[in-house]
Structure 1
Amino acid sequence: MNEAATVSVVIPAYNAAKLLGGAISSALTQTRTPDEVIVVDDGSTDATAAIAAAYPAPVRLISQANGGVADARNTAVREARGDFIVLLDADDQFLPNHLERCIATWQSMATSGQNERLIVTSNAYRLTRQGLTTSTILSSNFPPPALQRQKILETNFAGIFAFYPRHLHDEVGLFDATMRRGEDRDLWIRAIFSGWRIVPQREAHAVYRMAGTSLSADHERMAEAERQVLQQTRDRFADTLTATELAYLDLRLSSPAPRQLIHEANDLIRRDSWLDAADRLRQAAQMLPSDGRVRARAWLATHRWARPLLSIHLRMSDTRLRPVSE
């Protein structure tokens, strides 16, 4: 990345009037100012468009009929003039040196024997109803390149705070606009299976606002979106999947989603239904073989002496990570 390279921040926004100003301002107050900030108003019925229009250049507003977040991101990417794309959702924020750190991470990896087909995913603090937490979104056990094909099939280890060359989309396509959830993971899978690699910017230089709901119906929708992503992966890459990858995808597609099993296990733990909780956790661990935390929880749930520890941990997590109310 040379000094003349340009950067486009893309922000999809739908009825985001309460929060959009914070997102735009966080992009404009970077230590490395972006060359443009593209806000796509995705058919909002509130003041979203008016707020975006009130900002001068380099903010650009594009308005369209509602098509979902993937469609809005695609509109922004098509219109982007930058050499690099930076993703930001309307309810999240960058901390001041986010872009500077992403650029430094990309440059260091691209000049250390890696090719330039690199995606930087940045860490972020979680914002909950109780305020900004020290909990962050990226796992400390970020998978190395050799393990990323298998790991991305297990779970979306890449956060949504992404920085990458614009030509990624020329090679693997845009976000899947037919998807209302899971569209980012679908893109990362296509990239990884096409030879791209994801590298972490491990320090938290952004703020991720947790969703305002945690209903079981939402878990079910997320599980269905995950199933769609995995089915599309099996269909798209059928000729290049290894026997291990194919067997894993078949297991996942014939079983409940791990996130749903873990959600059910948590509810069972809250009701002291330990045998059923342990069974759900064992199933989840089978489908997430590289997730040591799930394996540990499954083991602890089978031992009476350890069960109070799991209950305490779950109560603390419920309190600490309760979503922000809109």
Structure 2
Amino acid sequence: MTDWLSHLRAPAPAAPVDPGPLPTLSVLIPAYNAADTIGEALESVLTQLPAPLEVVVSDDGSEDDLTGVLAGFGERVRVVRGPNRGLATARNRAAAAARGELLGLLDADDVWLPGRAAALTEAAAARPDLSIVTTDAWVTQDGRPDPASYYGLRHFEVDDQEEYILRENFVFGAGAVRARALAEVGGYDPVARWAEDWDLWLRLIHRGHRAGMVDVPLYEYRRRTGSLSNRKVDLALGVLAVLERARPLLSDERHAAVLARTEREWRVSAARFARQSRDPRRRRLVLAALRTKDQPLGARALSLAYGVVPSRIRRRPR
């Protein structure tokens, strides 16, 4: 039997804490046109020990045979349905229907590895002061495994989570969150179409909640290439929107300075990604995002430097 707690990385508790009972676990799976992948995702959860209290699938307006695939699992899976509104809304629907004290997250094209339910619930029981618990993960790209795990290449912050969450999203997104903490901040922001997990962790951590991580890869995160340049543009724009919405949360000047620096870095990234993209609409969106009230000249310089401005503006007359 694995001692998961020996692998737990987390901030020191602010005050002495007594371990509690294992929380009941609901696993939330948002799904959109995931008929080809959700079967493996569900099996990976339903075979966990201890078994979760329930598995809740949120069908986000799918147009494939997702309903037929889910029917094959019978009463082992609860299903909630709604019109297509995106990942954040789909997760909120599942959370609203869930009965567990701890809400575990799984995307419909990924899988939980053996031991993940035990690791998450044992960490949450041992540290009732942690509102977020996650694990390390293996990452595959179009079926090819990366040589290092997710946290083999990334940092998990334990000392100053309030500052570090403004620098980068150090919490692996498909973790688990206590239901009461999620309700306290109003769930996922439905406006967030990208980086919705960063948005949630940022709001939770800046309300005093803390995150822990079991440093063992217990999740398989399956990435697919798609239109990579366009996805990078969309992600950068999504992150900039998340950071913009974070400003009212900050009263500390040091935190505000960290946020401003992170915004500048993502503006540069957005401009670079837009230059790589062949989509004129995305280029226009990036240009609009760079033209902010507080940095009009800097944004203009960035857009010119990275070739975001439409070519008819950049060309000099002959």
Q: Which TM-score bucket, shorter chain as reference? A: 0.7 to 0.9
Q: 1:249 aligns with which of 235, 247, 259?
A: 259
- What is the CA distance between 1:253 and its match in structure 2? 3.4
Counterparts of residues 51-70 of structure 1 (less than 5 Å): 51-70=69-88
Is structure 2 residue 106 aligned with structure 1 residue 88? yes
Distance of 1:33 and 1:54 partners within structure 2: 19
Is structure 2 residue 225 aligned with structure 1 residue 212? yes
Distance of 1:126 and 1:63 partners within structure 2: 29
Is structure 2 residue 180 aligned with structure 1 residue 167? yes
The farther-off stretch of 249-258 and 163-172 is 249-258
Distance of 1:82 and 1:103 partners within structure 2: 11
- What is the CA distance between 1:197 and its match in structure 2? 0.8
Is structure 2 residue 44 aligned with structure 1 residue 34? no
Distance of 2:178 and 2:254 partners within structure 1: 31
Aligned length: 257
Tell me what 2:290 maps to.
none
Q: 1:195 aligns with which of 208, 225, 234?
A: 208
Is structure 2 residue 160 aligned with structure 1 residue 141? no
Is structure 2 residue 239 aligned with structure 1 residue 226? yes
8 Å Cα contact 1:230/1:253 also seen in 2: yes
- What is the CA distance between 1:190 and its match in structure 2? 0.5
- What is the CA distance between 1:214 and its match in structure 2? 4.9
Distance of 1:124 and 1:176 partners within structure 2: 25
8 Å Cα contact 2:142/2:224 also seen in 1: no
8 Å Cα contact 1:49/1:63 also seen in 2: no
The farther-off stretch of 123-132 and 252-261 is 252-261
The farther-off stretch of 190-199 and 209-218 is 209-218
Distance of 1:143 and 1:29 partners within structure 2: 31
Distance of 2:43 and 2:269 partners within structure 1: 34
Is structure 2 residue 6 aligned with structure 1 residue 6? no
Scaled by the length of structure 2, what TM-score is found? 0.75
1:161 and 1:248, CA in 2 relative to 1: closer, same or farther beyond 3 A?
same
- What is the CA distance between 1:117 and its match in structure 2? 3.7
List alignment gaps of at least 5 residues for structure 1.
268-326
8 Å Cα contact 1:49/1:61 also seen in 2: no
Distance of 1:171 and 1:247 partners within structure 2: 27
8 Å Cα contact 1:127/1:209 also seen in 2: yes
Is structure 2 residue 68 aligned with structure 1 residue 50? yes
1:65 and 1:141, CA in 2 relative to 1: closer, same or farther beyond 3 A?
closer
Scaled by the length of structure 1, what TM-score is found? 0.73
Is structure 2 residue 121 aligned with structure 1 residue 107? no
- What is the CA distance between 1:62 and its match in structure 2? 1.3
Distance of 1:256 and 1:118 partners within structure 2: 28
Distance of 1:43 and 1:260 partners within structure 2: 30
Distance of 1:91 and 1:130 partners within structure 2: 12
8 Å Cα contact 1:53/1:61 also seen in 2: no
- Secondary structure, aligned partner of 2:160: helix
- What is the CA distance between 1:104 and its match in structure 2? 2.2
- What is the CA distance between 1:120 and its match in structure 2? 0.7
* One-letter amino acid of the structure 1 residue matched with residue 156 of structure 2: F
Tell me what 2:197 maps to.
184
1:24 and 1:259, CA in 2 relative to 1: closer, same or farther beyond 3 A?
farther
- Secondary structure, aligned partner of 1:245: helix
Q: 2:138 aligns with which of 101, 120, 125?
A: 125
* One-letter amino acid of the structure 1 residue matched with residue 257 of structure 2: A
Distance of 2:83 and 2:247 partners within structure 1: 32
Cα offsets for 1:281-311 (capped at 9, x unmatched): xxxxxxxxxxxxxxxxxxxxxxxxxxxxxxx
- What is the CA distance between 1:4 and its match in structure 2? 6.5
Report which structure shows greater RCO (CA 8 Å, sep ≥6): 2
* One-letter amino acid of the structure 1 residue matched with residue 24 of structure 2: T
Distance of 2:240 and 2:220 partners within structure 1: 28
8 Å Cα contact 2:141/2:225 also seen in 1: no
8 Å Cα contact 2:25/2:121 also seen in 1: no
List alignment gaps of at least 5 residues for structure 2.
1-18, 277-318
- What is the CA distance between 1:56 and its match in structure 2? 2.3
Counterparts of residues 296-307 of structure 1 (less than 5 Å): none
**Quick one: percent identity of the two aligned structures?**
32
* One-letter amino acid of the structure 2 residue matched with residue 246 of structure 1: A
Alpha-carbon RMSD across the aligned residues, in angstroms, is 2.2
- What is the CA distance between 1:105 and its match in structure 2? 2.3
Cα offsets for 1:245-289 (capped at 9, x unmatched): 112223343554465478699x8xxxxxxxxxxxxxxxxxxxxxx
